[in-house]
Amino acid sequence: MADTVDTTRQAAGFRELLANGPVRLLVICSLINSVGFFAMMPFLALYLADLTTLPPAAIGAFTGSVALVGAIGALVGGTMTDRAGADILLRAGFALYTLLSAALALVTLPAVVLPLIVCLGGALMLVGPSLKKLMSLAAGEGGDLVFRMRFMTLSTGAALGPLLGAAAYNMSHRALFGASAVLFALCLTLVHARRQSLKALDVQTQRTHRQRWIWVQALHDRRFRLVLASSVLITLVFSQFESTFTLYLKDESGSSAPTLFAALFAAHAVLAFLYQWPAATLARRMALPAQAAWGCAGFAVAFLCWGTSHGGLALLLTGVVAWTVGEAILMPMADLITHRITPDAQKGTFFGALELRYLGFSTGPVLGGALLDTSQWTYFGVMAAVSFAAWPLLRARALRPEAG
């Protein structure tokens, strides 16, 4: 049937997929990497405020440079993944993470610390495309589920990493960066030990080696442009939860806002992990446009709940539940579609180009802040409408499985 989902790609369950050795290794590394990354990142601004006399805007620019360099640099990182080999680039990325974290644990001179922080984006641009390419190749027809597992590792890392980072930072900055360095070194050790099995997964062609600007081909693919554009809109909306929404809580709850947000974020992290099972079931039973509609509706309902909550816990929690439905459906969707529509030999390039979606994280807080300055109703009303901006792109016939 034209509007049904290609269920063969969902044939393997989570348990069966984890029985695959390379998949299990890559999922474990994704989890450890996420914990190490989120143990360090939330505390960079605090560390720079303690270490330097930089104004908040400059501190924000340096901490934000990690995501910016990682997103734009992934165009190069993805191309390098396809040309040199995903296993090599993955080890190089983990090695760079380890060296940079260890250096940050040892050095306190601002003139050295600031470039080291920017260089973290270089490690991000290597690890992201290579890890996703290997996961896609290792899972094969189970690729949809492996990217749901990757999203679960990100959710777990976002929940556990800051707890580890807070405990380490209370000891010293050396402990903060040292803990991340140990975790990144563990990832490097694991992938180096299994380098032959990972290398066997990779697919390279002579054409890939000859073509210098193969990422341009990704941007010329109409289906991929639809995925990328929808992803930028989704990340623009998604960025609100950890940026402008916290400002709203501060206005409503005052000094109790940090504690309230921590509780809401913890509930969100747990739900984001658990929701991947029903999200996988939904994907088997619903066509892509219907899934996208449910996801967009989840974000919109969350904004409406928060906008009418006046800081009340019941509506705030209801909004978090609806928000996590939208997140669980929409955030992994770009990886799932990219896995399906891209040739194996160029998956690194396409996954690298897909990292441009994180530009939405840069523009989202700016848009949200400007709307909130106008009024709370303007902010929540406009963002509820913007939540559906990606839906017309995701319902395009070109993205449906039967069109592939």
DSSP code string of 189-209:
HHHHHTHHHHHHH----HHHH
Domains and their CATH numbers in the chain:
7-202 (1.20.1250.20), 217-404 (1.20.1250.20)
CA distance 261 to 221: 40
What number is the average pLDDT over the span 240-261? 79
Query: pLDDT value at position 220?
Result: 75
CA distance 400 to 141: 16
Q: Which H or E run contains 13?
A: none
Query: pLDDT value at position 105?
Result: 94
Query: pLDDT value at position 9?
Result: 40
8-67 pLDDT, tens per residue? 344 457 778 888 889 999 999 999 999 999 888 878 877 888 888 878 667 777 877 888
Residue % of the chain over a pLDDT of 90: 34
CA distance 314 to 308: 11
The phi and psi torsions of 155 (rounded to 5 degrees) equal -65, -45
CA distance 25 to 27: 6
Query: Is it the case that residue 88 has pLDDT exceeding 90?
Result: yes
Cα torsion through 305, 249, 58, 99, rounded to 10: -80
What number is the average pLDDT over the span 288-307? 94
Q: Tell whether pTM > 0.85.
A: no
Q: Which H or E run contains 28?
A: helix 21-40
Q: If you count them, how many residues does the chain have? A: 404
Cβ atoms of residues 261 and 249 within 8 Å:
yes
Select, from the ranges 81-85, 181-185, 364-368, the one with the highest average predicted confidence (pLDDT). 181-185
CA distance 129 to 132: 5
Tokens of 321: 């539940």
**Cβ neighbours, 10 Å, residue 34:** 22
Query: pLDDT value at position 215?
Result: 56
* 103 against 3, higher pLDDT: 103
When pLDDT is cut at 50, 70 and 90, the band that residue 194 belongs to is very high
When pLDDT is cut at 50, 70 and 90, the band that residue 100 belongs to is very high
The phi and psi torsions of 308 (rounded to 5 degrees) equal -105, 5
108-147 pLDDT, tens per residue? 899 999 999 999 999 999 999 999 999 988 888 766 788 8
Query: Is it the case that residue 174 has pLDDT exceeding 50?
Result: yes
Query: pLDDT value at position 393?
Result: 92
For tokens 């070109």, what's the residue?
Answer: 398
Select, from the ranges 112-116, 134-138, 195-199, 299-303, the one with the highest average predicted confidence (pLDDT). 299-303
Query: Is it the case that residue 212 has pLDDT exceeding 60?
Result: no
CA-based nearest residue to 393, from 220, 223, 279: 223
Query: pLDDT value at position 109?
Result: 92
Q: How many CA atoms lie less than 13 Å away from 350 in the CB half-sphere?
A: 28
Residue % of the chain over a pLDDT of 70: 90
- The residues, any chain, with a CB within 8 Å of residue 353's CB and separated by 6 or more, are 74, 75, 78, 215, 218, 219, 224, 228
Select, from the ranges 3-7, 10-14, 204-208, the one with the highest average predicted confidence (pLDDT). 10-14
Query: pLDDT value at position 190?
Result: 96
In the three-class reduction of DSSP (H, G, I as helix; E, B as strand; rest coil), residue 3 is classed as coil
Query: pLDDT value at position 211?
Result: 53
Taking CA atoms, 102 is separated from 12, 34, 95, 106, in Å, by: 40, 17, 11, 6
Query: pLDDT value at position 403?
Result: 55
CA distance 59 to 35: 23
Estimate to the nearest angstrom the gap between the alpha carbon of 255 and the chain centroid: 30
CA distance 3 to 112: 55
Query: Is it the case that residue 204 has pLDDT exceeding 70?
Result: no
Select, from the ranges 127-136, 249-258, 364-373, the one with the highest average predicted confidence (pLDDT). 127-136
Amino acid at 289: P
Query: Is it the case that residue 209 has pLDDT exceeding 50?
Result: no
- What's the whole-number average pLDDT of the chain? 84
Q: How many CA atoms lie less than 13 Å away from 214 in the CB half-sphere?
A: 26
Burial of 350 (0-12, 13-18, 19+ CB in 10 A): buried
The phi and psi torsions of 243 (rounded to 5 degrees) equal -130, -90
